[in-house]
């Protein structure tokens, strides 16, 4: 796999974008370079709620890569339920603007209720 990680070009972000980044040091990048599958396994375990944990982090058979083989996620749970459960259901999930004057702001809790209602159709 290391043979395919040999990209030498760099694409730095704009200064203003970088200044607002949550990562302020190169430690995270160094950790990822040192152990690619292990790094992503830690990220997946820390940042996602899994219904079933994976059996294999990475199944790399060129030209295909399969990540988190055997794992099972629920997208709605990770995108909506967890935010409501963590007490931030009143935060804006998205703000829509259509024709002049048409707007709608929907919170995580509102969106979860809509998704649950639709799921029962």
For 68-94, how does the pLDDT look when each residue is reduced to its tens digit (9 = 90+)?
999 999 999 999 999 999 999 999 999
If you average pLDDT over every residue of the chain, what do you get? 90
Q: What is the arithmetic mean of pLDDT over 49-60?
A: 96
Owning domain of residue 107: 75-119
pTM value? 0.69
| Distance, CA of 90 to CA of 4 (rounded, Å) | 44
Contacts of 106 (CB under 8 A, 6+ apart): 92, 93, 94, 95, 96, 114
Q: Are 43 and 22 in contact (CB under 8 A)?
A: no
17 and 49 within one domain: yes
| Distance, CA of 70 to CA of 3 (rounded, Å) | 26
Q: What is the percent of the chain where pLDDT is above 90?
A: 69
Q: Are 115 and 108 in contact (CB under 8 A)?
A: no
98 and 65 within one domain: no
Q: Which of 70, 92, 111 is the last residue of a domain?
A: 70
112 and 61 within one domain: no
Q: Are 51 and 68 in contact (CB under 8 A)?
A: no
Number of domains in the chain: 2
Contacts of 44 (CB under 8 A, 6+ apart): 50, 54, 68, 71
92 and 35 within one domain: no
7 and 37 within one domain: yes
């Amino acid at each position: 796999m290391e043979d395919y990680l040999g990209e030498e070009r760099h694409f730095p972000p704009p200064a203003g974008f970088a200044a607002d980044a949550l990562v302020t040091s190169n430690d995270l990048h160094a950790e990822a370079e040192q152990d690619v599958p292990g790094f992503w396994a830690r990220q997946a375990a820390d940042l996602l709620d899994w219904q079933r944990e994976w059996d294999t982090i990475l199944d790399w058979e060129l030209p295909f890569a399969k990540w988190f083989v055997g794992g099972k996620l629920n997208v709605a749970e990770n995108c909506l339920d967890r935010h409501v459960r963590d007490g931030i259901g009143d935060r804006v999930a998205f703000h829509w603007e259509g024709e002049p004057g048409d707007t709608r702001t929907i919170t995580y809790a509102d969106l979860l209720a809509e998704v649950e209602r639709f799921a029962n159709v």
